[in-house]
């Protein structure tokens, strides 16, 4: 099957075959990272604009490298120090960017639904690089690619997603993607950080770390998002680390071949003990490398769908 | 509607003879197998490259390396199609620099695929030479590209389809000319 969508906004809307197409394309793109000269001419003359309203290093850099390896021109537009700080609205900014004829706009924003709003307003392709606590589809895709590489398949695998589920767009995108591909998901964390009715997404809920990670193929630790916490959802960082931090001791009940993932940036000593983050089960740096491949795949597929318009 | 078969161009024996002849020509032209490497173009070019490398091994006793090239990212018609063609990936497990690369494909038509393949290989290194081996040359070139080794020269009309069927993919070794079905 071919890619026909104008935008990549959520994992929720994707068909399993579309996820498969992105993962297969990304796996093929990985060869380019191993070359001495890391560039193919595929998107020559195309322009990608990174429109980031929230701090991001990994994701923005990853999209930038992905675009550049495909020979696209990549421009970064960050909110700090730009017209947004002078009071321009999001849609006005987007329309101004559109007037410069980009082919793809990659957007990150603190408000859920921003990517959908832009996708409706703009003729060019829009990629959601994270909208509030809603979705972050390319993160879920790079996680799925990493698991598939390490385990050889996805269907039937079990995953525990641990930590601040309520504020996590990474968790939400992964849950949608994993359920579609026949994986079992357990979310775990203190009750204040588990959204009500999360079971309706088809996941199990656990309130004990050891129980959640006992018999899973993958443990995905989430960052404690202190910047999104307005009220006291946890008593203290120390207490959180003690009950929900993954350490060598808490791993003793996990499977021998378990994978440990983290979307970054890691709060060392809070959700992940350093010896675990740097340990043999950790695939955190594979995730980063696969992030570039997934974003190359997404840019490639979206740049093609444009021709229909 | 499936295209209608019009004529058989090569049967199993003739196809095998063509490959053996090309293998001998490659060895003769390059004075042996030193620095020789095969690169097949997905999909059937890869199979033909593997077969040619085996025939060369049969003659010289040394097996040259074989790689797989996917030219999708180098196509000149990206963005002109409804959806992007599927990228299947390049796997060349050797350094092309200094090698005599024998590029292998099943059918040579406009030459645009070969143009893309040349660019793709050059991006991987600096081969000493690139030579082109083709099972069927059907003419209608749009670029100044010419094969070094040809299994069969076949004059065709533009609307005809040359189908190379190989055991590994299609269950038989045969080359046929097909005519698109009438609407």
Domain ranges of chain A: 16-135+288-308, 137-283
* A residues 20..39 contacting B (CB < 8 A): 21, 24-25, 27-29, 31, 35-37, 39
Mean pLDDT of B17-45: 97
Q: Is it true that domain A16-135+288-308 has CATH number 3.40.50.1370?
A: yes
Share of chain B above pLDDT 70, in %: 98
Chain-chain contact of B74 with A41 (C-beta, under 8 angstroms): yes
Burial class of residue A235 in the structure, from the number of CB atoms within 10 Å of its CB (0-12 exposed, 13-18 middle, 19+ buried): exposed
Q: What distance lies between CA B11 and its chain's CA centroid? A: 18
Taking the C-alpha atoms of residue B124 and residue A37, their distance in angstroms, rounded to an integer, is 7
Strands A104-109, A73-78: pairing is unpaired
Tokens of A180: 């579609």
Please give the C-alpha separations between residue B123 and each of A110, B38, B104, in angstroms, as whole numbers: 40, 17, 18
Out of A4, A28, A41, closest to residue B87 by CB: A28
Q: What is the pLDDT of residues A193-247, one digit of tens each?
A: 999 999 999 999 999 999 999 999 999 999 988 776 666 788 888 999 999 999 9
Taking the C-alpha atoms of residue B110 and residue B49, their distance in angstroms, rounded to an integer, is 21
Q: Is A44 on the interface with B (CB under 8 A)?
A: no
Cβ-based contacts of B89 with chain A (< 8 Å): 27-29, 31
Chain B residues with CB-CB distance to A under 8 A? 70, 73-74, 78-84, 86-91, 119-120, 123-125
Per-residue pLDDT of chain A (309 residues; tens, 9 = 90+): 689 899 999 999 999 999 999 999 999 999 999 999 999 999 999 999 999 999 888 999 999 999 999 999 999 987 766 667 778 899 999 999 999 999 999 999 999 999 999 999 999 999 999 999 999 999 999 999 999 999 999 999 999 999 999 999 999 999 999 999 999 999 999 999 999 999 999 999 999 999 999 999 999 999 988 776 666 788 888 999 999 999 999 999 999 999 999 999 999 999 999 999 999 999 999 999 999 999 999 999 998 655 444
Q: What is the pLDDT of residues B75-97, one digit of tens each?
A: 988 877 777 889 999 999 999 99
Q: Is it true that domain A137-283 has CATH number 3.40.50.1370?
A: yes
Rg, C-alpha atoms of chain B = 16
Out of B73, B84, B90, closest to residue A301 by CB: B84
Q: Do domains A16-135+288-308 and A137-283 have the same CATH topology?
A: yes
Out of B80, B83, B89, closest to residue A31 by CB: B89
Domains contained in chain B, CATH given? 4-75+88-179 (3.40.50.2020)
Banded model confidence at residue B165, pLDDT cuts 50, 70, 90: very high
Chain-chain contact of A2 with B84 (C-beta, under 8 angstroms): yes
Residue pointed to by tokens 């071949």: A257
Taking the C-alpha atoms of residue A243 and residue A102, their distance in angstroms, rounded to an integer, is 47
Q: How far is A127 from chain B (nearest CA, A)?
A: 17
The 10 Å Cβ neighbour count of residue A208 is 11
């Amino acid at each position: 099957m071919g890619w026909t969508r104008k935008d990549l906004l959520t994992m929720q809307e994707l068909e399993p075959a579309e996820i498969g197409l992105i993962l297969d394309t990304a796996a093929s793109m990985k060869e380019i990272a191993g070359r001495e000269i890391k560039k193919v001419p595929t998107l020559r003359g195309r322009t990608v604009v990174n429109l980031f309203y929230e701090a991001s290093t990994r994701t923005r850099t990853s999209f930038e490298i992905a675009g550049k390896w495909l020979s696209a021109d990549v421009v970064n537009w960050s909110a700090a120090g730009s017209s947004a700080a002078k009071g321009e609205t999001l849609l006005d900014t987007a329309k101004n960017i559109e007037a410069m004829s980009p082919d793809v706009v990659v957007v990150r924003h603190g408000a859920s639904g921003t990517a959908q709003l832009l996708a409706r307003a703009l003729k060019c392709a829009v990629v959601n690089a994270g909208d509030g606590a809603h979705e972050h589809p390319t993160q879920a895709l790079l996680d799925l690619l990493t698991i598939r590489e390490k385990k050889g398949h996805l269907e039937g695998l079990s995953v525990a997603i641990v930590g601040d589920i309520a504020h996590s767009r990474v968790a939400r995108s992964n849950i949608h993607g994993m359920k579609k591909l026949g994986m079992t998901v357990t979310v775990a964390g203190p009750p204040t950080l588990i959204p009500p009715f999360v079971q309706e997404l088809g996941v199990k809920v656990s309130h004990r770390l050891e129980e959640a990670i006992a018999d899973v193929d993958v443990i995905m630790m989430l960052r404690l998002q202190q910047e999104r916490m307005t009220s006291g959802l946890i008593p203290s960082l120390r207490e959180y680390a003690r009950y929900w931090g993954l350490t060598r001791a808490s791993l003793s009940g996990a499977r021998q071949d378990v994978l440990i993932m983290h979307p970054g940036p890691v709060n060392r000593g809070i959700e992940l003990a350093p010896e675990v983050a740097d340990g043999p089960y950790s695939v955190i740096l594979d995730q980063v490398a696969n992030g570039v491949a997934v974003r190359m795949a997404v840019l490639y597929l979206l740049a093609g769908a444009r021709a229909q318009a | 509607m499936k295209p209608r078969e019009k004529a058989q161009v090569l049967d199993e024996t003739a196809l095998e003879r063509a490959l053996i002849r090309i293998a001998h020509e490659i060895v003769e032209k390059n004075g042996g197998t030193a620095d020789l490497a095969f690169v097949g173009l997905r999909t059937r070019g890869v199979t033909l490259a593997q077969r040619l490398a085996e025939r060369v091994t049969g003659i010289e006793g040394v097996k040259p390396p074989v790689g797989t090239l996917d030219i999708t990212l180098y196509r000149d018609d990206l963005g002109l199609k409804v959806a992007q063609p599927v990228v299947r990936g390049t796997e060349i497990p050797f350094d092309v620099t200094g090698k005599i690369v024998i590029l292998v494909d099943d059918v040579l038509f406009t030459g645009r695929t070969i143009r893309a393949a040349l660019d793709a290989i050059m991006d991987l290194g600096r081969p000493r030479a690139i030579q082109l081996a083709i099972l069927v040359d059907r003419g209608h070139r749009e670029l100044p590209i010419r094969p070094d080794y040809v299994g069969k020269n076949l004059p065709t009309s533009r609307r005809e389809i040359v189908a190379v069927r190989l055991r590994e993919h299609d269950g038989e070794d045969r080359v046929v000319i097909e005519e698109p079905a009438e609407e």
